[in-house]
């Protein structure tokens, strides 16, 4: 939001943006409606001229209220409705009761990847259309990350120690002010790239800076500039506004290409000479090369393509994790119960770490129910997304919803109102209140009980578990494949924070900012921290 205001205050930048907005309005006024007939709209006044266009434009500032109205009026009565959007592409919002129907549709009928391609401007934002047209990087992550994650945990812990010591400091006397959003945009890339590329590149400041800027530029291009650009102008505007994206990728290649070339050479030599003494690193590059080789994907074995594939994985891992951790920290610190929660997470982390012999393990982190709950609860109450499980209708003849008797034409977006589901008092008592241990209390009670039947229904409230009532990682076969890594990463971050730092509670929660259909954390707000006495040693 601040960046947008700065742009508008500069005539050189404001004029192009105003031009795009004017063109966008023209595009909405002249567009032909392509939505299911008969479904009710939210926020539309049929008595007014250009009613559809008015509703789409008003959606930028009204989505929060409209979602609540739509959920209570239609969703809870098992009915679908139309949600306007500033892009001029209204969405069909399904009731939660039709989640099974949504998930059972094959990809050539309702497509997740096609939705991602359109919403992230795949033609322009990721250096080449091939990246999102054939998301091979997602295939690699699905195949390897869950079963290769355990050995990565010590590396993740080491990167967190190094990054937080550098940025939060080790001064045990003076309090230090930390801008959490900016800080997480520095720390998360280093942890992510320890998994992607390993040492020493994961600590290279110039490399990390370019990866972080790439992630933010994709968001700017996809959600501001190109989203407001009329379709007929995108072939002109798209390559221009995405020049920084390509520049950031090229800046990373001076670090990544030597690593990739060396890795490909070592794989080749090992195949030709099994006696060659070389241990394959456990990172994304190795996974990518192994899978592409096994599947005969020679197009995915060029150094250039592998270097490009690193960009969308970084994008997905950096900005979503930074947003989530920022929200979680502000949620934790802004309640009267904050001291109790922080102490509870600290006690559990130190106890589990001791039980694991002083070395974090996958099994140990699985027993950190309190940090797991604190993060899951923040993702429930303060998530940056409002809808999820979004799909694009692919068949030329559209798709029929037999439960309600409507047909969605080709190209229509269909999804679920995540925000309202996760704030439903029938599903979550006192839903607008952040309760850090909402999910951990019953799990800890069940763990302490000798009656196994008490565990039923509780084991499905872990952070990585998706359901039709917890949707931040989506749901079904296209649920986020990186959630296993991200959940461990965030729990380790919280553990290091509470074990090593005093953190001053906040008097009140800095409010999130609603920006169209997203809710952004307070990116300029800060917290005060101080290193705990006796914790500066390694």
Contact between 488 and 156 under an 8 Å Cβ cutoff? The reply is yes
- Alpha-carbon gap, residue 294 to 285, rounded angstroms: 14
- Rounded Cα distance between 368 and 144, Å, is 24
**DSSP 8-state class, residue 501:** E
480 known ligand binder = yes
Tokens 């499905």, located at residue? 460
* b/e burial code for range 62-75 (CB count within 10 A of at least 16 → b): bbeebbbebbeebb
Q: CA distances (Å), 293 to each of 136, 142, 302, 303, 474, in order?
A: 13, 16, 11, 13, 30
3-state SS class at 531: strand
Report long-range pairs for 16-20 (Cβ below 8 Å, ≥24 apart).
17/225, 17/228, 20/225, 20/228, 20/229, 20/233, 20/237
C-alpha separations of 261 from 144, 257, 344, 507 in Å = 21, 6, 47, 52
Between the CA atoms of 480, 285, 197 and 354, what dihedral angle is there, to the nearest 10 degrees? 60
CA atoms within 13 A on the CB side of 34: 17
Asked whether 119 and 444 are in contact (CB, 8 A), the reply is: no
* Cis amide bond preceding 200, omega within 30: yes
- Which of 66, 146, 23, 105 minimizes the C-alpha distance to 412? 105
Helix (H) or strand (E) holding 3: helix 2-9
Q: Among candidates 504, 470, 523, 474, which has minimal Cα distance to 182?
A: 523
Residue 205 parent element (H or E): helix 205-220
Tokens of 121: 């401007």
> How far, CA to CA in Å, does 374 sit from each of 355, 369, 462, 529?
22, 9, 11, 19
SS3 of 36-81: CCCCCECCCCCCCCCHHHHHHHHHHHHHHHHHHHHHHHCHHHCCCE
CA distance 170 to 182: 19
Q: Are the C-beta atoms of 495 and 371 separated by less than 8 Å? A: yes
> Which residues participate in the annotated binding site?
480
> Which residues participate in the annotated binding site for heme?
480
């Amino acid at each position: 939001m601040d960046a947008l205001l700065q742009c508008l205050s500069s005539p050189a930048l404001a004029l192009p943006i105003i031009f795009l907005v004017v063109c966008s309005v023209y595009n909405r006024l002249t567009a032909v409606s392509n939505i299911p007939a008969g479904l009710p709209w939210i926020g539309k006044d049929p008595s007014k001229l250009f009613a559809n266009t008015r509703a789409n434009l008003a959606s930028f500032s009204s989505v929060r209220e409209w979602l609540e109205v739509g959920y209570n009026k239609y969703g809870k009565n098992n009915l679908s409705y139309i949600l306007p959007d500033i892009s001029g592409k209204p969405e069909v919002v399904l009731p939660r009761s039709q989640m099974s129907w949504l998930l059972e549709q094959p990809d050539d009928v309702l497509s997740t990847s096609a939705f991602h391609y359109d919403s992230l401007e795949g033609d322009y934002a990721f250096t080449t259309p091939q990246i999102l047209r054939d998301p091979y990087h997602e295939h690699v992550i699905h195949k390897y990350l869950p079963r290769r994650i355990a050995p990565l945990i010590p590396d993740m812990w080491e990167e967190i120690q190094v990054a937080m010591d550098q940025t939060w400091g080790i001064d045990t006397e003076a309090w230090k002010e930390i801008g959490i959003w900016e800080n997480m945009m520095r720390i998360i890339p280093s942890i992510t790239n320890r998994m992607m590329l390993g040492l020493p590149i994961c600590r290279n400041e110039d490399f990390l800076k370019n990866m972080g800027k790439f992630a933010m530029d994709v968001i700017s291009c996809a959600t501001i500039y190109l989203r407001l650009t009329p379709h007929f102008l995108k072939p002109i505007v798209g390559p221009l506004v995405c020049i920084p994206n390509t520049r950031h990728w090229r800046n990373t290649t001076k670090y990544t290409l030597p690593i990739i070339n060396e890795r490909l050479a070592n794989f080749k030599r090992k195949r030709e000479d099994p006696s060659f003494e070389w241990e394959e690193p456990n990172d994304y590059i190795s996974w990518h090369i192994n899978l592409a080789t096994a599947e005969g994907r020679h197009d995915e074995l060029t150094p250039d393509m592998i270097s490009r594939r690193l960009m969308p994985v970084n994008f997905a891992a950096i900005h979503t994790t930074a947003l989530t951790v920022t929200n979680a920290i502000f949620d934790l610190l802004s309640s009267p119960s904050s001291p109790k929660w922080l102490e509870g997470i600290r006690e559990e982390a130190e106890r589990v770490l001791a039980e694991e012999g002083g070395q974090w393990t996958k099994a140990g982190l699985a027993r950190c129910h309190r940090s797991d709950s604190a993060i899951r609860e923040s993702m429930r109450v303060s998530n940056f997304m409002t809808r999820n499980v979004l799909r694009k209708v692919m068949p030329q003849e559209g798709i029929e919803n037999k439960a309600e008797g409507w047909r969605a034409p080709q190209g229509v977006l269909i999804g679920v109102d995540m925000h309202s589901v996760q704030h439903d008092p029938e599903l979550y008592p006192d839903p607008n209140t952040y309760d850090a241990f909402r999910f951990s209390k019953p799990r800890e009670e069940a763990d302490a009980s000798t009656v196994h039947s008490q565990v039923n229904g509780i084991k499905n409230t872990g952070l990585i578990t998706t359901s039709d009532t917890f949707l931040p990682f989506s749901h079904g076969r296209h649920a986020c494949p990186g959630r296993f890594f991200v959940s461990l990463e965030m729990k380790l971050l919280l553990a290091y924070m509470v074990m090593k730092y005093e953190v001053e509670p906040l008097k009140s929660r800095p409010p999130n900012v609603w920006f169209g259909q997203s809710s952004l954390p307070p990116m300029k707000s800060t917290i005060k921290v101080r290193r705990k006495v006796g914790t500066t040693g390694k």
